[in-house]
Amino acid sequence: MTELLQTIRQYIRTPAAQLDQLASDRIQQEIAFHVGERTLDLMSDGMPPDEARLAALKRFGDVDQVVQQCRQETQGGLALLHRIHLAVTALLAVSVAGLFAFFLIDRQSHRSVATLPAAITSLIDNDWSGDVAGDVQDSHGNPIAGATVIVSVKAWPDESFNMRSYRTTTGQQGRFTLSGVTPQRDYYEVNVVALMDGWEMQSQYVTQTTGGQRAPLRFTLEPATRCLVHFKDESGRPLSGVQVRLKDRIASSGEEHFLYPGGARHVTLVSDDAGRISAPWFKTGDRVALGCRYRQEDWQTVTCSITAPTINVCLTDGAFVVSKE
Amino acid sequence: MGKSDKAALLQGTLDMLILKALQSGSLHGYQITRWLERTSRSALIVEEGSLYPALHRMERKGWVTSEWGKSESNRRAKYYQLTQLGRAQLAVEHEAWNSLSNAIGLIMKFARLR
């Protein structure tokens, strides 16, 4: 430590000290020459060398004082300027360090002010590397490729509720995998829907109390009944442009299948010019709930039983009503 | 002339005398001392110790420049040379000196008449 301080001190002094030393050396050389010349002159007048040397020195005066005066004249205020320069540089360095420290502390304080809610922190801190995987097949065990799979993951971080939904399709082998969608450490629930035209819509709702990975899911789908939904207005004219979304299906056996689309891209059907949509995901005897909207009105839930190949829905006074016919 | 009879230089005249000494060419410090002694016929005492601070001051002001060379005795010596600025300064100081010496002359003449 002492050595370091000494090195720093030397470094600070070096330019001024070097200048000083150089000036002193040159002035002394100059004076030595002068005294030497005077000594030679006195010797040539017959004075013994030692005496001549002393006389020359005496005549010159105080050598040290002259050196000091010459040095001051040569350097002028350079040494002082050098020290002022060093002081200003040091001040600037300290200021920059101070500003840096200030911004660092300021940034940290802002971070603490902007602390995220515990629920969000808990959500972020969790390890969301769990997968949801499975396959979709028919009752004969044949894979169904191209089926839409909508996965909704529910979690309750720090007593709050969070649900995120994802959408994918099955591959040639009827398999699907959604990676990095479930938490590894917390309780969560997953609703998985398999949807394929011509096949009954199915969902599976599973819970995972300990977090982590769960076994692959298997969907075995039965063929759906051909079903058309026909939208009309009060005058019996077809309503085109009605948007329809599947919400849930209760099979005749009582099995319930729900779809929680959440933020995932929904499966939305739109009625054609004849006011018709094909809804090929149900079986006769099912009770289904559909989300319906005409133009930009609010979504309404239309519940109906699949008893006939065509279901007629009439828009009366802004409300969708299933016709009995 | 004994030492006690020699006149000390008037304050402010040393610079002018040094500039005058260098007017004829570059000289080292000892040569300037000798030139002043010889030219004044040993009437003026140049304090050798005050010669060098004056030379260094004049160099800083740009009136003279210097370079190291070999002396007649083949030793390293520092030679001083007058610059344009130094010549102008010499003219100024010479003029001032003339005014001063004229004024002193007039005073002394007037004192003698009374």
Maximum separation of any 2 CA atoms in chain B, in Å? 59
**Residue B75 backbone zone (phi > 0: left; psi -120 to 50: alpha; other: beta):** beta
With 90 as the cut, is the pLDDT of residue A297 above it? no
The answer to whether B37 contacts chain A (CB < 8 Å) is no
- Three-class SS state of A2: helix
pLDDT band at A324 (very low <50, low <70, confident <90, very high): low
Amino acid B52: pLDDT:
93
Q: At what angle do helices A2-44 and A78-113 cross, to 10 degrees?
A: 170
CB contact under 8 A, B49 and A66: yes
Task: Going residue by residue through chain B, which has 114 residues, state the pLDDT in tens, using 9 for 90 and above.
Answer: 444 445 556 667 899 999 999 998 999 999 999 999 899 888 887 888 889 999 999 998 899 999 999 998 889 999 999 999 999 999 999 999 999 889 988 888 876 555
Q: Give the model's pLDDT for residue A136.
A: 95
Predicted confidence at residue B60, as pLDDT, reads 87
What secondary structure letter does DSSP report for A165?
Answer: E
pLDDT of res. A184 = 82
| A176-227 tens-digit pLDDT | 999 888 888 778 889 999 999 899 999 999 887 676 667 889 999 999 988 8
Over 70: is that where the pLDDT of A323 sits? yes
Q: What is the predicted ipTM? A: 0.85
**One-letter identity of residue A33:** F
Least confident of A16-20, A175-179, A297-301, A320-324: A16-20
Give me the pLDDT at residue A78, please: 66
* Cβ atoms of residues A280 and A197 within 8 Å: yes
B78/A65 touch (CB, cutoff 8 Å), yes or no:
no
Q: Is A25 on the interface with B (CB under 8 A)?
A: no
A111's CB contacts (< 8 A; 6+ apart) are: none
User: Does any CB of chain B come closer than 8 Å to the CB of residue A57?
Assistant: no
Give the number of A-B residue pairs with CB atoms closer than 8 Å: 58
Whether the per-residue pLDDT at A113 is higher than 60: the answer is no
Chain-chain contact of A70 with B53 (C-beta, under 8 angstroms): yes
Q: How far is CA A193 from CA A51, A269, B112, in A?
A: 120, 17, 134
pLDDT band at A242 (very low <50, low <70, confident <90, very high): very high
What is the structure's pLDDT at B6? 52
- Lowest-pLDDT range of A43-57, A61-75, A232-246: A61-75
Label residues A7-18 b or e (16+ Cβ within 10 Å = b). eeeeebeeebee
Q: Which residues fall within 8 angstroms of residue A195, CB to CB, at 6 or more apart?
A: A147, A148, A149, A150, A201, A246, A259, A267, A281
Strands of chain A (E only): list them. 130-138, 148-155, 162-169, 175-182, 188-195, 202-208, 217-221, 228-233, 242-250, 256-258, 268-270, 276-278, 287-294, 300-305, 310-316, 319-322
What does the mean pLDDT of chain A come to? 85
Q: Cα A65 vs. chain centroid, distance in angstroms? A: 72
Q: Which domains does chain B have, with CATH numbers?
A: 3-113 (1.10.10.10)
Q: Among A30, A37, A40, whose Cβ lies nearest the Cβ of B52?
A: A30
- A66 with B73: Cβ contact below 8 A: no
On whether any CB of chain B is under 8 Å from the CB of A37, the answer is yes
Three-state secondary structure call for residue B22: helix
- Angle CA A305–A310–A314, to nearest 5: 80
Instruction: For chain B, say whether A85 makes contact (Cβ under 8 Å).
Output: no
Question: Is the CB of A164 inside 8 Å of chain B's CB atoms?
Answer: no
| Any B CB within 8 A of A22 CB | no
Residues of B in contact with A27 (CB under 8 A): 52, 56
- Order of strands, edge to edge, in the sheet holding B64-70? B27-28, B76-82, B64-70
* Residue A59 to residue B53, Cβ atoms within 8 A: no
Q: For A243-257, how does the pLDDT look when each residue is reduced to its tens digit (9 = 90+)? A: 988 889 999 899 999
Please give, rounded to a whole number of angstroms, the shortest distance from the CA of A88 to a CA of chain B: 26
Is A287 in contact with A177 (CB distance < 8 Å)?
no
- B91: closest CA of chain A, how far (Å): 23
Q: Give the per-residue pLDDT at A83.
A: 75
Is residue A289 within 8 A of residue A247, CB to CB? The reply is: yes
Grade residue A17 by pLDDT with cuts at 50, 70 and 90. Answer: low
Q: How far apart are CA A268 and CA A244, in angstroms?
A: 6
Across the interface, whether the CB atoms of A34 and B71 are under 8 A apart is answered no
Q: Which of B48, B59, B75 sits opposite A33 (nearest CB)?
A: B75
Find residues 80-109 of chain B whose CB sits inside 8 Å of chain A. Answer: none
Q: Do you know the residue count of chain B?
A: 114
If one compares A43 and A18, the residue with the highest pLDDT of the two is A43
CB distance from A60 to chain B under 8 Å? yes
Q: Which residues pair with A168 in a beta bridge?
A: A149
- Chain A, 288-307: which have a CB under 8 Å from a chain B CB? none
- From chain B, pick out residues whose CB is under 8 angstroms from the CB of A34: 28-30, 33, 48, 52
Q: Do A30 and B78 touch (CB under 8 A)?
A: yes
Q: Is A70 exposed, middle or buried (0-12, 13-18, 19+ CB in 10 A)?
A: buried
